[in-house]
Structure 1
Amino acid sequence: MNENFEDRDEVLDTVRRFERMVAHNEPVFFDLADFENIIDHYTTNTQYDKALQACEAAIAQYPFSTELLIDRSQVLAMKGEYTAAATQIENVAQLDPDNPDVAVTRGIIATQKGEFAEAVAYFLQAAERAPDRDDIYFNLGLAYQSWQKFKSAAKYYKKSLRLNLENDVAVQELLYCLEVSERLESNLDFFQRFTDEDPYSAVAWYNLGQAYYRLEQFDKAVGAFDYAILIDSKFHEAHAYLASTYVSQEKYREAIQEFELSHEEGKPTPEALCNIGECYEKLRQWDLSRRFYQRAIDLDPEMDEAWFGIGIIMNEQERHFEAIHFFRKAVELYAESVEYWLALAAAEYQVGNVVSALEAYEKATETAPDNKDAWLNWSIILYEQGNFNEAIDLMRNAVEVQPTEAELHYRLCAYLLAAGRYREAYETLENALVLDFDKHRLLFDYFPELESQKALARLIDQYRK
């Protein structure tokens, strides 16, 4: 089995032991390396309050450890407590001025404060003192990425990965920077080189698989993940990515098998259970789907995707009242999802809760003003309720937000015609025809009776290419 994953399991055991001792107010004793691992685990998972708690416990036991004082300063910086972080690191600098971690920490503080040029200078200074440390190049990458300089960021992430291929966060950030700067395809050889140099490295194949996955070269991604798993059958992350690749290929049964292998035996994660639920949902096996979503919720009651998933199943089974309960829970947990608000709105309307439906559509447009369906569906309710002028005002808003979306112009035109406001309707229609002539069929889909309007037909004919 891959050494990396054994280490990871050991670290998780140490973290759990630490949390038990804290929970029971027991005295906490660990050796220095264990404390470093605990702090590192929390910072990697952006749990900065817990990381700081671990720092305090560690410093109480090892008050003269500069490593721990540096850790504490870095955690304070990540929490946004820059003054305390700077004071702490300046104290360390007086004790140990040549320590490269002093420069690294100053760099982290500068990055967090948005002082990117300064941050880069500190990290380069640290890299001169310790040229073989992957974390320094990783931090350089982060500073450049935060500065929106994606090419430079990619350069340093690569340097970091050449020293330590197993930094998965560096892989993710590198892929992101290459994607944003549209250079992923031309940089595939970077990932391929690792598999050429060491064909038995599971991590190298896994990283190559992720690059193919991002490029939507799914067959190649499957091949790469398969190799990773062949080398290390317990490589849970590779199983999870292979499963996601199968989902992209709509091979849901294969995906389910891989999601079942994406965690330790007998220790399913809420994410894996939720993903399996979604695969069964795609296969329209409602009972199995619901069972897995429910298991995900039992493990993690805040798993919004699982609540939403059960809502979708209830909807498919025309149990709209029950669906509403689950959709409401999903939006309560994650109000930034336009998909959740739209589903809730549709279900509320389905059972005749017009006011609640309108409120949910309003939330949807606040969450994602560029989602045309939210505006269209909201306006349909107003129109069906006979509130033509409100429907018109709403579509005018929508057109202002998305002036190039032809479908919104056609719908506005239809409502103006229905309200007898012909001059405005024809003006709007002209805009729509210029934007996308072919979509004029939508007008007759909304209102078939308009086909008989001669003036309308003449106007449309003028714009025929």
Structure 2
Amino acid sequence: MPFSSNEDRNFPISKFESMLKTNDVYFFDADDFEDIIHHYLDMGKVALAKKAIQIGLEQHTSSTTLKLLHIEVLIFENRFDVAEKMLDELALIETSNEEIYIQRANIYSKKDNHVMAIELLKEALVYTDDSADVYSLIGMEHLFLDQYAEAKDCFIKCLDEDPEDYPALYNIIYCFDFLEDHDGAISYLNTYLERNPYSEVGWHQAGKQYFHKKMLKEALAAFDFAIISDDTFIGAYLEKGKVLEKLGRYNEAIANYELTLGLDDPTSFAYLRIGKCHEKLGNDNIAKQYYYKTVHEDPLLDKGWIAITDFYLKQFNYQKAKYYINKALNIDSENIAYWKRCAEINKQLHLYEEADISYQKTIELGNYELQTWTSWCDILVKIGEFENAVHVMLQALEFYPKEACLEYRIAGLYFTLSDYRKGRSHLKNALTDNYDEQIILEELFPSVFDSKTVKNFITDFKKASI
């Protein structure tokens, strides 16, 4: 029975592995060794690749290709001195071999000398028959240097040679995005699509650019063309669903998301978006079921847990919300969004000590939003932790030095602690920053606000400022 093409391709590999097991010595031609080595390198089996290189060079001592593969492995292992010595020897024999320049560039790149790597790759362009690959390497070196305009030009040259080089297309759009040149990206994609009207990836990328610019009609048309070009393109259906959501066409969005569930394994993103659409349509029970499916499919997706928690928060079902946010925290205890919601839920349940801990954790994890500071302070006031509240507010003041809502709180706290000098100082700051926000003092510290001392101070301040 004749070998299939796949069996034919795998035969040298199975023969090589048989040789290693039996310690017999088989002869392979240099091309077979090249295939074997590439196979192991692609699989990350470097030790077997090195063994194949060793045996290959023993059988084909003058093979430049095998020597270059040996050099590639040496560079991978950061053995630059040995690799450079071998490259010097090869350069004396083959002055026009572009791979020598490419591997030298690889060494410089790994040493973070990307400028020199680019120069060597430009020399490789003189000798190569595959300039697209070399331009791609030059583009990556420019990315290392944050030279996005130059990188973009290189990837464009790759795509000019091979219109289906989609990694190059993605890199081009990445550069446009980083340069915040969305108009330029749209212009380029339109030119590209005139030449390649059935490129589903091109239409998909154009749709994303239109969506970013809130050009929803154009985005919808682009995603439709992507689907026409490839009716199994899951990404296009998902993006089209997002556009339809923005347009308030929730049933159509659901239909697109549901299509993706039949094309491949279900994704947590699709479940989440279907749930959001049903919630907006008032189908709460269906929405809830899809949120459950979301976290079941991907327990690490924080948006799923947040969706369930927020669903119950909107229904004022704080016990259920607390149950799910605690489940989320058991999975990821370092998630700021979880701790913020945990604090809010505990506050609503009048579990102020737990809310205090939640706000503290939120701050410790790096959330320095003004509302987080003030909410934490207000909880501390409720449990009578006035000195801790002062400490929290003084910390917040370092982030928001001219914020009246902080100064009013600090003033109220100092008056409560009978430190009238500091109280008056901070009340003066608060009145200066925003005279009309006195209601903060009145609501949080009514006895302080109604005291004769504070009333007179505010009156005197107003007279002095007239």
Question: How much does 1:394 deviate?
Answer: 0.7
Residue 359 (str. 1) matches residue 354 (str. 2) = no
Tell which deviates more after alignment, 118-127 or 363-372: 118-127
Q: 1:443 aligns with which of 417, 424, 440?
A: 440
Q: 1:287 aligns with which of 275, 285, 290?
A: 285
Tell me the distance in 1 between the aligned counterparts of 2:276 and 2:41: 35
Answer 1 or 2: higher relative contact order, Cα 8 Å, separation at least 6: 1
Tell which deviates more after alignment, 189-198 or 178-187: 178-187
Seen in structure 2, the aligned counterparts of structure 1 residues 388 and 200 have a Cα distance that, compared at 3 Å, is same
8 Å CA contact 1:70, 1:101 repeated in 2? no
1:29-108 alignment runs, 5 A limit: 52-53=44-45, 64=56, 83=78, 86=80, 93=87, 100=98, 103-104=101-102, 107=105
Tell me the distance in 1 between the aligned counterparts of 2:241 and 2:424: 52
Question: How much does 1:242 deviate?
Answer: 1.9
2:27 corresponds in structure 1 to none
8 Å CA contact 2:234, 2:263 repeated in 1? no
1:53-452 alignment runs, 5 A limit: 53=45, 64=56, 83=78, 86=80, 93=87, 100=98, 103-104=101-102, 107=105, 111=109, 114-130=112-128, 132-164=130-162, 170-171=168-169, 173-249=171-247, 251-262=249-260, 265=263, 267-283=265-281, 285-334=283-332, 337-403=335-401, 407-409=405-407, 411-413=409-411, 415-416=413-414, 419=417, 421=419, 423-425=421-423, 427-428=425-426, 437=434, 440=437, 443=440, 446-447=443-444, 450=449
2:268 is matched by which residue type in structure 1? Answer: P
2:15 corresponds in structure 1 to none
Structure 1 unmatched runs, 5+: 1-29, 41-50, 77-81
Deviations 1:366-397 (A, max 9, x none): 33344223222222211211212211211211
Task: Say which SS state the counterpart of residue 263 (structure 2) adopts.
Answer: coil
Structure 2 unmatched runs, 5+: 1-31, 57-64
Task: Say which SS state the counterpart of residue 216 (structure 1) adopts.
Answer: coil
Seen in structure 2, the aligned counterparts of structure 1 residues 396 and 153 have a Cα distance that, compared at 3 Å, is farther
Seen in structure 2, the aligned counterparts of structure 1 residues 400 and 33 have a Cα distance that, compared at 3 Å, is farther
Seen in structure 2, the aligned counterparts of structure 1 residues 130 and 284 have a Cα distance that, compared at 3 Å, is farther
8 Å CA contact 1:100, 1:130 repeated in 2? yes
Task: Say which SS state the counterpart of residue 152 (structure 2) adopts.
Answer: helix
Tell me the distance in 2 between the aligned counterparts of 1:34 and 1:404: 68
Seen in structure 2, the aligned counterparts of structure 1 residues 290 and 383 have a Cα distance that, compared at 3 Å, is same
2:21 corresponds in structure 1 to none
Tell me the distance in 1 between the aligned counterparts of 2:193 and 2:350: 59
Seen in structure 2, the aligned counterparts of structure 1 residues 397 and 223 have a Cα distance that, compared at 3 Å, is same
Task: Say which SS state the counterpart of residue 52 (structure 1) adopts.
Answer: coil
Question: How much does 1:350 deviate?
Answer: 3.8
CA RMSD, Structure 1 to Structure 2 (Å): 4.4
Seen in structure 2, the aligned counterparts of structure 1 residues 296 and 179 have a Cα distance that, compared at 3 Å, is same
Seen in structure 2, the aligned counterparts of structure 1 residues 128 and 188 have a Cα distance that, compared at 3 Å, is farther
Q: What is the TM-score with the length of structure 2 in the denominator?
A: 0.70
Deviations 1:307-355 (A, max 9, x none): 3333333434444344334324434544554222211222344445544
Q: What is the TM-score with the length of structure 1 in the denominator?
A: 0.70
Seen in structure 2, the aligned counterparts of structure 1 residues 349 and 444 have a Cα distance that, compared at 3 Å, is closer
Question: How much does 1:212 deviate?
Answer: 1.8
1:19 corresponds in structure 2 to none
Seen in structure 2, the aligned counterparts of structure 1 residues 310 and 56 have a Cα distance that, compared at 3 Å, is farther
Tell me the distance in 1 between the aligned counterparts of 2:179 and 2:436: 33
Task: Say which SS state the counterpart of residue 83 (structure 1) adopts.
Answer: coil
1:243 is matched by which residue type in structure 2? Answer: G
Tell me the distance in 1 between the aligned counterparts of 2:165 and 2:219: 19
2:60 corresponds in structure 1 to none
8 Å CA contact 1:191, 1:211 repeated in 2? no
8 Å CA contact 1:205, 1:224 repeated in 2? yes
Tell which deviates more after alignment, 452-461 or 112-121: 452-461
8 Å CA contact 2:353, 2:383 repeated in 1? no
8 Å CA contact 1:277, 1:290 repeated in 2? yes
8 Å CA contact 2:408, 2:441 repeated in 1? no
Tell me the distance in 1 between the aligned counterparts of 2:462 and 2:37: 73
Seen in structure 2, the aligned counterparts of structure 1 residues 270 and 218 have a Cα distance that, compared at 3 Å, is same
Larger radius of gyration, structure 1 or 2? Answer: 2
Task: Say which SS state the counterpart of residue 233 (structure 1) adopts.
Answer: coil
Tell me the distance in 2 between the aligned counterparts of 1:149 and 1:268: 39
1:456 corresponds in structure 2 to 458
Seen in structure 2, the aligned counterparts of structure 1 residues 72 and 305 have a Cα distance that, compared at 3 Å, is farther
